Amino acid sequence: MASSTGNPMQSPERRKTDRNFSRSRALVARALPGRSGPSLHAGDPMAPMADTKLADHPLLPARAGEKTLLVPSAARRPIVGPGAAPPVPAGAAAGQAGRFARRTLDVVLATLVLLCLLPLLLVVAALIKLDSPGPILFRQRRLGKDMHPFTVLKLRTMRTDATSEAHMRYIAQLAQAQNGDDGSTLKKLTDDPRVTRVGHTLRRLSIDEVPQLFNVLVGQMALVGPRPAIEYELEHYEPVHFERFDVRPGITGLWQVSGRNALGFQEMLDLDAEYATHATLGTDLRILVRTPRAAIRNAA
């Protein structure tokens, strides 16, 4: 097969898709040794995107900011060309026993970590109150498994008058830059004027994520999984990215241990979809082992 960059007959959109896929494939290979990249079905799953069509499943309405979008249902999968092997259901290899083991691991570790970090949380809560007026916890509506909304908990790192408009504009710019013809990539937001002085430190050390352990205990999240999605991001998704809603969102995941702030928007979504397709207890354990090192690297 000729290279996508060397075929002058291919459209710019096709070349962008192939370029993004190659970049994400390399990231997956680095994140999980033994994986060659996203593999939703036999053969090269995303290179022939021009021939891709979706299974005949109903669309579901979903809010994306002020818009209502029709997005694939959780059962929807890409089908590539005639004769292609059917896609593998997300998490099928793990089975019921694997899902039970992963959930047990989530509950046990979340409980232990919360007990160990309780003194630190009390100190941080006092610092947040002293630094700026407002509540200690930040609550935000996110989309979880099967796109069910839930309230995610974080330690407040922003001013109380902060709105989501700046982040909405940033996400749009991030998606546009990822697909830019010049190959440039706008990285994850690291300089947000809405963030308080204490908030900068909490974010750099990832301490603001600790309250999400309560979301894990009640079953809304997992320790490992895709980043909890915000509704207004959906309009920038490709169909394959809705695979990420087949599993619970997580506190850490593939993209967090694969570069974190050095990744583009498309790459983060590709890695989230890859995890959802291959979620197993072994994958979770490898990601959990690599998370502390990734957090230290990010803090430095």
Q: For 197-238, how does the pLDDT look when each residue is reduced to its tens digit (9 = 90+)?
A: 999 999 989 999 999 999 999 999 999 999 999 998 898 899
Would residue 266 be called left, alpha or beta, if left means φ above 0 and alpha means ψ between -120 and 50 degrees? Answer: alpha
Please, which residues bridge with residue 158 across strands?
A: 195
What the block records as the tokens of 175 is 């998606």
User: Among all chains, which residue has been given the structure tokens 């022939």?
Assistant: 48
Count the Cβ atoms, other than its own, within 10 Å of residue 206: 19
What the block records as the tokens of 116 is 């160990």
Q: Report pTM.
A: 0.69
> Is the model more confident about 216 or about 43?
216
The pLDDT of residue 117 is above 90: yes
Strands 137-143 and 59-64: unpaired
Looking at residue 272, what is its pLDDT?
A: 93
**Chain-centre distance for alpha carbon 25:** 16
Most confident of 87-96, 100-109, 191-200: 100-109
Could you give the angle at which helices 95-131 and 197-204 cross, rounded to 10 degrees? 150
Nearest to 31 by CA among 268, 281, 300, 299: 268
Distance CA 28, CA 89 (A): 19
The pLDDT of residue 176 is above 60: yes
Looking at residue 223, what is its pLDDT?
A: 97
> Of 91-100, 182-191, 267-276, where does mean pLDDT reach its minimum?
182-191
